Amino acid sequence: MAGNSPCASCKLLRRRCAKDCIFAPYFPSDDPQKFALVHKVFGASNVSKMLQELPVHQRADAVSSLVYEAHARVRDPVYGCVGAISYLQNQVSELQMQLAVAQAEILCIQMQHEPVMPNPEMEDPDQKSYLLQNELPHEYLNYASSSNVIYDSLSRESIFGHDMVS
């Protein structure tokens, strides 16, 4: 208990705040909404049990996690913070794909503006025409548009271990 004022949990639960109140260090009286939210989602009894099972040095982190999860559960009652994590992972995937497209377009533009330098080791005229006589694999020729890069990026495995596009 901080001074004479009971902690936020004892205030909400309308009980006397003891000196050894497990909630007092983590739910101060000046932030009653913090405990109210955690209490609404997890219940005071469950939170008390969780905190008692933890070593003292881990309790502050646990309370922080409980508050975060409670906020997430109020926003998204079904998925909670897993929904937020999934959303952020999808954003990362989309941004990685956009980056790959931009890098492919930069490479394509660089290749269009770069003059082909003859290789001095290729003295034999038959060897010089090798690239002209034999077709290059389509992977090297089809990156003129970004749509091919997008499709190739989508066809690779996602971070979840399954194909994103079949």
Q: How many domains does the chain have?
A: 2
36 lies in some domain: yes
47 lies in some domain: yes
Whether residue 65 sits in one domain with residue 89: no
Count of H helices and E strands in the chain? 9, 0
> Is it the case that residue 105 has pLDDT exceeding 60?
yes
3 lies in some domain: no
Whether residue 71 sits in one domain with residue 16: yes
Among the three residues 27, 56, 75, which one is the final residue of a domain in this structure? 75
Whether residue 135 sits in one domain with residue 96: yes
Whether residue 88 sits in one domain with residue 69: no
pLDDT at 166: 39
**For the residues 105-109, what does the mean pLDDT come to?**
94
Whether residue 102 sits in one domain with residue 145: yes
1 lies in some domain: no
Whether residue 12 sits in one domain with residue 56: yes
Within 8 A by CB and 6+ apart from 29, the residues are 2, 5, 6, 7, 8, 11
Whether residue 114 sits in one domain with residue 67: no
Whether residue 138 sits in one domain with residue 96: yes
State the Cα–Cα distance between residues 51 and 60, nearest whole angstrom: 9
The reported pTM is 0.56
165 lies in some domain: no
The per-residue DSSP string of 59-93 comes to HHHHHHHHHHHHHHHHH-TTTTHHHHHHHHHHHHH
Among the three residues 55, 75, 95, which one is the final residue of a domain in this structure? 75
DSSP 2: B
Which of these ranges, 4-8, 49-53, 102-106, 153-157, has the smallest mean pLDDT? 153-157
Whether residue 131 sits in one domain with residue 109: yes
pLDDT at 104: 95
Whether residue 151 sits in one domain with residue 89: yes
Question: Domain span at residue 30?
Answer: 8-75
Whether residue 60 sits in one domain with residue 12: yes
pLDDT tier for residue 164 given thresholds of 50, 70 and 90: very low
**For the residues 120-149, what does the mean pLDDT come to?**
50
